[in-house]
Amino acid sequence: MKKIDKKQTILDTALTLFVSQGFYATSTASIAKKSGVATGTLFHHFPSKDKLMEYLFLSIKQEFADAILASITDSGNLKEDAKHLWFSAIQWSIENPLKQDFFQQYSMSQSISIEIREQAMNSILSFMGALMKKGHTLGLLAEYPLNLMLDNCHGQYLAATRYFLDHPEKWQDPKHKAASFHLFWNAMAKS
């Protein structure tokens, strides 16, 4: 008989409930009940709903980053590498719509502390900052403040993925796919 991973069951249930009901409308008791675990078991793994949310947010960001990093190539052409990264990131969102809906709701929400959001951006997604610094060094990207560029890129990613999740057939259209990257690139490119 297969052992049930209670922690993962709690996380999967919390993900579904946070997306469908919202963070504040979801109680730890409802997460425990839908997970089929005692409330004490939930608190054994996560001391509070806030800690559960932080863990969920960072673990999904890590899953996202791992998928993107696995697809990164270094062709020697920064723009082509950025395009590959962009397309891989959007493809992940298409393949993981519930997790992307979670990002849509919580990536810029006050439900996630600024420290946790910065940890995700500066640690888990540090390859994005490195790519931008390389673009500055090569003179390909505008000399905007790095953290502002990172937040702007994140906002563009959320907008593009929302569009493609709402219109999945457009992701298969080369014109729309290319336009999404050009919008992203042109926001950073040196004029």
User: Each residue of 127-137: pLDDT tens digit?
Assistant: 999 999 999 99
Domains, the chain? 1-47 (1.10.10.60), 50-188 (1.10.357.10)
Q: 20-47 pLDDT, tens per residue?
A: 999 999 999 999 999 999 999 999 999 9
Which are the contacts of 178, defined by CB distance < 8 A and separation ≥ 6? none
Is 49 within 8 Å of 28 (Cβ atoms)?
yes
Q: 81-94 pLDDT, tens per residue?
A: 999 999 999 999 99
Residue 4's pLDDT band, with cuts at 50, 70 and 90, is low
What's the Cα-to-Cα distance from 32 to each of 14, 46, 93, 107, 120, rounded to whole Å?
Answer: 9, 11, 27, 24, 26
Neighbours of 51 (CB within 10 A): 12
Cα 44 to the chain's mean position, in Å? 27
- The helix or strand, by DSSP H or E, that contains position 145, with its residue range, turns out to be none
